[in-house]
Structure 1
Amino acid sequence: MPGVTKEQIARAKEWDLLSYLQAFEPQELRKCGGREYRTVTHDSLKISNGKWNWHSRGIGGRTALDYLVKVRGMDFVSAVETLCGERGAAVWTPSEVPRREKPEKPFTLPQENRCGTAAVSYLLGRGIDAEVISQCIREGILYESRGYHNCVFVGKDSKGKARYACLRGIYGTFKNDVDGSDKRYSFSLPSAEKDSPYVAVTESPIDALSVASLLKMQGEDWTKNHYLSLGGTAPRALLGFLHDHPAVNCISLCLDNDRAGLSGMEKIREALKEDAELSRRVRVVVDNPPPDFGGKDYNELLQKTAARYAAAKREKTKPGCGMEK
């Protein structure tokens, strides 16, 4: 490595982030329970058990060297020299430290189409139950956009403010997040019970609504659960949701039955263990991908299940079925 020796690199890696900040930037630390800390500059960057994780960005590490490179944006050589004291460790000016995480573009919800029948028809065609769709519309988390007639799935923060939205085309395969969306506040359908301990976690909003529809189809009370879409497989939306819903302690991981989904469930379990508060609070975490016969995701399982139910119903209503002359 040009500019630094192996010995310098080894010395730099001896600094864990907590020790580094305690020694040189104590004003950056904020205790948030037990032995866990957050940083002032990045509220979602947590330090616990010798590791740090910047949950809103999905990155982390163990050492202060990782932090200086991945978070502060320093080049590797400068970071090593800083930690070894050659460049004056932790001599920062306020202008060098960004004080707030800002989206690249401002977040604005797409304009709503007053008549949203196309989006509703599309979701019904995907097997989503009409009552589930109506509940989403009442909650203000689902509507049809005016320009391209996409389904708009809205994510809100704990105060009810829209902070995230994803689009799903109803005439093709278009999928996209709205510019400026904050995935910490991904789409979620709340339980009818405010203090419900249950949440079903999926990769997409349609899969979340599919889980609810399947439960209703099977005669279960689908309203007792929260339903959360991660907008992918990263754990940060779930971590934020759990901190905003302290009553939740039972998690059903309904991610896709493929390599990305199965890997995502492992990462979620690791993230929960690394969070001091959640590792103590969460009692049950169940891996619950759709069964192999049900397809890759829960919407495929819903459509196959609906087809079986319909076929069984037709058999029962055939003329003369089960009757003696």
Structure 2
Amino acid sequence: MTVRKLRFTDEQIEAANSVNILDYARNSGYSLKQVSRNSFKIPKYGGLYIDSNGHKWYWFTRDKGGGAIQFVMEMEGKTWVEAVKRLLGLSNNIEVFTPKHKATKEEKGEMILPEKNNTYKHVIAYLIETRRIDKSLVYDLINQKKIYENKYKSCVFIGYDKEGIPRYASFRSTNTKGKAYRGDVKNSDKSFPFCVEGNSDTVNVFESPIDLMSYLSFLRIYDITDFNNHCISLGCISDTALERYLEDNPNIKKIILCLDNDEAGSFGSEKIKEKYEDKYTISRHVPKGKDFNEDLVELVRNIEISQQNNKDIEERNEVQELII
């Protein structure tokens, strides 16, 4: 017997993913609470927010989000095909269901850092030459054991607890061609961020370690020496790391959100603002491009072009003086 695989047209997939998540949630038996002009929350689900336009959602405690298809998959435990089928049938027959709670997570084991390479050259070349991070900053973080190179030539970024024990680590391939390979080390605890500690009452919050380092590189380019804010990387847009960092540093009064200049960054910034604005002064520093590394690469490129142009002018002047 031949089994025919179910295939959806692009139009069907688009139709499924364009279903209003708020309407779906209401018709599926969820209670919704509007928490701001731009978002709703499903109570008792650990920070599960839905944008007021009904097009996207984000679950902070699970660091998951997306559109309507992903919502059905996550909340009902359905496969992608099942979720699309369910959403395509909404216009005719909305089935009320009881959300399935996932089984309690197994206790995490010990995080074991990836094996170190016998060199740092690939990480150094990638961060300095490709990402244009300040050289002295890269070496400082290597010396502080916050960055190293694993045996696969990838960058490893480490987050420590107050006792100096590594609790979180993420990795990012150093290849500049093809798809980047990235992720978190098994049993990492995202509540312990990759960070550069400060001594002011302000914390700058970034999505990734590279964006954090890019921001600090800007300060060095512009010779800003009085910056002493705390800087942390969330490793996503969930506030898990921020929550712990604020608990560990009760002197902090201000939060500057430096998340990406895209929908996810804006959504994450809005949710963090809603959660913390009663206790902290919150502002947002938005990069010109998608993120601060994109801005840094552009700035360094322009500086190099300007320096080369000035050099060419000087050489022409020297030649003219010799001719005269």
SS in 2 for 1:183: coil
Q: In 2 relative to 1, CA 197–114 (structure 1 residues): closer, same or farther, beyond 3 Å?
A: farther
Any conservation in 1 of the 2:169–2:185 contact (CA below 8 Å)? Answer: yes
Residue 183 of structure 2: aligned partner: 176
Contact 2:200–2:229 (CA under 8 A) maintained in structure 1: yes
In 2, are the aligned partners of 1:56 and 1:184 still within 8 Å (CA)?
Answer: no
Residues 1:188 and 2:188 are matched in the alignment: no
Q: Structure 1: how far apart are the matches of 2:186 and 2:99?
A: 35
Q: 1:243 to 1:308 in 2, by over 3 A?
A: same
1:261 to 239, 261, 265: 265
Match in the other structure for 2:282: 285
Deviations 1:250-289 (A, max 9, x none): 222111111001111001111214xxxxx33x2x321112
Cα deviation 1:276-318 (Å, max 9, x = unaligned): xxx33x2x32111212xxx211111000011111122223333
Decide whether the 8 Å contact of 1:235 with 1:271 is kept in 2.
no
Residues 1:190 and 1:102: Cα distance change in structure 2 (over 3 Å):
farther
For 1:128, the aligned partner's letter is I
Residue of structure 1 equivalent to 2:302: 308
Output the TM-score relative to the length of structure 1.
0.63
- Deviation of residue 106 (structure 1)? 3.1
1:11-90 aligned within 5 A: 57=62
Question: What is the CA-CA distance between 1:196 and the residue it aligns to?
Answer: 2.1
- Structure 1 residues 155 and 254 mapped into 2: Cα distance closer, same or farther (>3 Å)? same
Cα distance in 2, alignment partners of residues 204 and 77 from structure 1: 33
Give the Å deviation of 1:206: 0.7
Q: Which runs of 5+ in 1 are unaligned?
A: 1-8, 14-44, 47-53, 60-69, 80-97, 274-278
- Give aligned-pair identity as a percent: 31
Q: CA RMSD in A?
A: 3.2
What amino acid is the match of 1:184? S
State the shift of 1:173 in Å: 0.3
Distance 1:138 1:103, change over 3 A: farther
Question: How many pairs are equivalent?
Answer: 230
- Within a 5 Å distance, the mapping from 1:1-325 to structure 2 comes to 57=62, 103-125=107-129, 126-146=131-151, 148-171=152-175, 172-191=179-198, 195-221=199-225, 224-273=228-277, 279-280=278-279, 282=280, 284-291=281-288, 295-320=289-314
Query: How much has 1:232 moved relative to structure 2?
Result: 0.7
Instruction: Give the gaps of 5 or more residues in structure 2.
Output: 1-28, 32-45, 48-58, 65-74, 76-96
Assess if the C-alpha contact under 8 Å between 2:63 and 2:236 holds in 1: no
SS at match of 2:312: coil
Per-residue CA deviation, residues 230-254 of structure 1 (Å, 9 max, x unaligned), is: 1111111111111112222222211
